């Protein structure tokens, strides 16, 4: 099997599993209990918090464990909006059109509560314009939420510039960094981020665990009512094993970050160049090298249905994604691809390849070979393609179709 869907999830590292094991057996104590095994669990959480905080230049007390990226995003958007509605009766959120559904659908829900939401457009590479953020600000703006890097097309947003604007106006700035954390350096202080969502399973950690960074000085209400866990903001007995596992995954990811980024960038660009050279009528979606995640490759293939392409590759043992994992299954074209201006036809012929620690050049050579053949076969059966060829013969390899 060749797995090229690391943006959907990553395989948990063996070191992570090993670090977690004791907490499934002898180290089962509740961190809130006062006796020895309880205190040991509490200590494990403390150490995990410290270790994770150090990877983003945060204080220990600024890290709050959650069940993942979805929960962290829901927490920020819903509690800030509800608090504002309760106290002011009015509320406004600024976000953008290509956020993850955990952000978009939380915003939609807050619209039903009476909150206004501005969904800023993005340019053809998927970038939010910081000046558009500035223009969208209103006296009742309670939150600006823009992701660090997009999960479908890999575009990295100008987070630092947006943070400066948010700070000028004293508006909390939230960043969904689920795709970025562990894949590019993040210093929350240097970037000026107030709130940041991260998920364990996107960087070789466990599923169902994540954290929310809440800058010291930012007031945000509790998301779960109950006991006093996570300083009373997120009640519920801690997922000790997963917290320990995520911290392990995090320290390994940060340790290896520079070398792994370099390796992935070189594989990414190799794959991009070969597709462009060897498969005609394709379009690379997303930004150029320095504004693009090291592991993301997203191509539209003209005259091809990505669902068919995906199945043909699956039969060869290749795992890729059409759009994003979350969008697969519903038939609507991806909101991200629509927002960057693709036609519905091109959007429906789009595949995302996301590489990772286990990807080799040999894997990519094999995938390219199978991809070429699958695209050719699908086009050979396409009437539209036949008509196109008649009209524009000869089709030069690598010609870009818009
Ligand atoms: C995966 C993902 C999420 C959701 O995280 P979970 O931990 O799976 O809930 C949120 N935002 C982005 C950008 C993602 O890629």
**119, 264: one domain:** no
Per-residue pLDDT tens digits for 180-195: 999 999 999 999 999 9
DSSP H helix total and E strand total for the chain: 13, 12
CA dist 275 → 51, 156, 345, 376 (Å): 40, 22, 20, 13
Calculate how far, in angstroms, residue 100's C-alpha sits from the geometric centre of ligand 1: 7
Domain's final residue, options 200, 226, 253: 253
Pairing of strands 141-145, 92-96: parallel
Cα 12 off chain centre by: 17
Q: Does residue 398 fall inside a structural domain? A: no
Residues 215, 213: Cα–Cα separation, whole Å: 6
Residue nearest to atom 14 of ligand 1 (CA): 178
273 and 161 fall within a common domain:
no
> Given this model, what pLDDT does residue 392 score?
83
The answer to whether residue 172 is domain-embedded is: yes
Give CA–CA dist 13/89, Å, rounded. 47
User: Which of 211, 238, 253 is the last residue in one of the domains?
Assistant: 253
Among 253, 280, 312, give the residue marking a domain's end.
253
Q: Give the domain CATH number at 132.
A: 3.40.640.10
Do 212 and 348 fall into the same domain? no
The CATH number for 279's domain is 3.90.1150.10
Whole-number Å distance, alpha carbon 178 to ligand 1 midpoint, is 6
How far apart CA 163 and CA 172 sit, in angstroms, is: 9
> In angstroms, rounded to a whole number, what is the distance separating the alpha carbons of residues 89 and 379?
56
Residue 299 belongs to a domain:
yes
Query: Is the separation of the CB atoms in 175 and 148 below 8 Å?
Result: yes
Predicted pLDDT at 330: 58
Among residues 136, 187, 181, the alpha carbon closest in space to that of 160 is found at 187
Q: Which residue is it, tokens 């600000």?
A: 137
Which pLDDT score, from 0 to 100, does residue 394 have? 60
- Tell me which residue has its CA closest to atom 3 in ligand 1: 69
Domain that holds residue 234: 13-253
Q: Is there a single domain that holds both residue 75 and residue 166?
A: yes
Crossing angle for the helix pair 306-315 and 361-380, to the nearest 10 degrees: 130
Domain assignment present for 400? no
The pLDDT of residue 50 is 98
- The answer to the question of residue 7 being in a domain is no
Same domain, residue pair 68 and 208: yes
357 Cβ contact list (under 8 Å, min separation 6):
10, 204, 260
Residues 91 and 193 in one domain: yes
d(CA 48, CA 65): 10
Q: Are residues 183 and 272 in the same domain?
A: no
Catalytic residues: 326
> So what's the pLDDT on residue 348?
95
Q: Is 178 in the pocket of ligand 1 (CB under 6 A)?
A: yes
For a pocket test of ligand 1, which of 5, 65, 69, 296 has the largest count of ligand atoms closer than 8 A to its C-beta? 69
Alpha carbon dihedral 319, 321, 327, 329, in 10-degree steps, equals -50
> 274 and 228, same structural domain?
no
User: Domain tally for the chain?
Assistant: 2
Q: Are residues 284 and 220 in the same domain?
A: no
Residue with tokens 């995954």: 249
Q: How far apart are CA 326 and CA 218, in angstroms?
A: 31
Burial of 68 from C-beta contacts in 10 A (0-12 / 13-18 / 19+): buried
What number of other Cβ atoms are within 10 A of residue 261's Cβ? 16
Q: Given this model, what pLDDT does residue 399 score?
A: 53
Do 71 and 198 lie in one domain? The reply is yes
Among 5, 65, 102, 201, name the best residue to mutate to test ligand 1's pocket (greatest count of ligand atoms within 8 A of Cβ).
102
**Model pLDDT, residue 391:** 86
- Give yes or no: residues 25 and 162 share one domain: yes
The answer for 57, left when phi > 0, alpha when psi is -120 to 50, beta otherwise, is left
Instruction: Specify the residue for token string 């036809």.
Output: 345
Residue 161 maps to a domain:
yes
pLDDT confidence of residue 325: 44
Asked whether residue 339 is assigned to any structural domain, the reply reads yes
Low-confidence ranges of the chain (pLDDT < 70): 323-331, 393-402
Contact indicator for 116, 135 with CB cutoff of 8 Å: no
**Does the CB atom of residue 183 touch ligand 1 within 6 A?**
no
Given this model, what pLDDT does residue 323 score?
65
Residue 2 within a domain:
no
Q: Looking at the structure, tell me whether residues 199 and 342 fall in a common domain.
A: no
């Amino acid at each position: 099997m060749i797995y090229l869907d690391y943006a959907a999830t990553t395989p948990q590292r063996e070191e992570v599993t090993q670090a977690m094991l004791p907490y499934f057996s002898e180290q089962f104590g509740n961190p809130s209990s006062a006796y020895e095994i309880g205190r040991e669990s509490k200590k494990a959480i403390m150490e995990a918090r410290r270790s994770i905080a150090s990877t983003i230049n945060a204080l220990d007390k600024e890290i709050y464990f959650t069940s993942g990226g979805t929960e962290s995003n829901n927490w920020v958007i819903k509690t800030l909006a509800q608090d504002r509605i309760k106290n002011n009766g009015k509320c406004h959120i600024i976000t953008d059109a290509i956020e993850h559904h955990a952000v978009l659908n939380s915003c939609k829900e807050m619209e039903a509560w009476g909150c206004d939401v501005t969904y800023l457009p993005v340019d053809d590479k998927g970038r939010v314009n910081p000046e558009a953020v500035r223009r969208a600000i209103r006296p009742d703006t309670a939150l600006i939420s823009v992701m660090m890097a997009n999960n479908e097309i890999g575009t990295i947003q100008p987070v630092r510039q947006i943070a400066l604007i948010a700070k000028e106006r004293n508006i909390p700035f939230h960043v969904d960094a689920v795709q970025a954390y562990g894949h590019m350096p993040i210093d929350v202080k240097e970037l000026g981020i107030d709130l940041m969502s991260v998920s364990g399973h996107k960087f070789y950690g466990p599923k169902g665990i994540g954290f929310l960074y809440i800058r010291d000085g930012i007031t945000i209400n509790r998301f779960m009512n109950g006991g006093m866990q996570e300083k009373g903001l997120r009640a519920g007995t801690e997922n000790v094993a997963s917290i320990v596992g995520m911290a392990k995954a995090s320290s390994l990811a940060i340790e290896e970050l520079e070398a792994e980024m370099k390796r992935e960038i070189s594989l990414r660009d190799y794959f991009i160049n070969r597709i462009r050279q060897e498969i005609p009528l394709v379009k690379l979606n997303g930004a150029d090298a320095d504004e693009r995640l090291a592991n993301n490759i997203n191509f539209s293939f003209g005259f091809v249905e990505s669902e068919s392409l995906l199945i043909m590759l699956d039969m060869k043992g290749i795992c890729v994604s059409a759009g994003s994992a979350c969008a697969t299954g519903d038939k609507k074209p991806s909101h991200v691809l629509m927002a960057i201006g693709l036609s519905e036809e091109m959007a429906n012929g789009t595949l995302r390849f996301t590489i990772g620690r286990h990807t080799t050049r040999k894997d990519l050579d094999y995938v390219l070979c199978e991809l070429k053949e699958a695209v050719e076969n699908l086009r050979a059966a396409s009437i539209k393609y036949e008509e196109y060829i008649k009209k524009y013969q000869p089709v030069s390899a690598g010609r870009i179709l818009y």
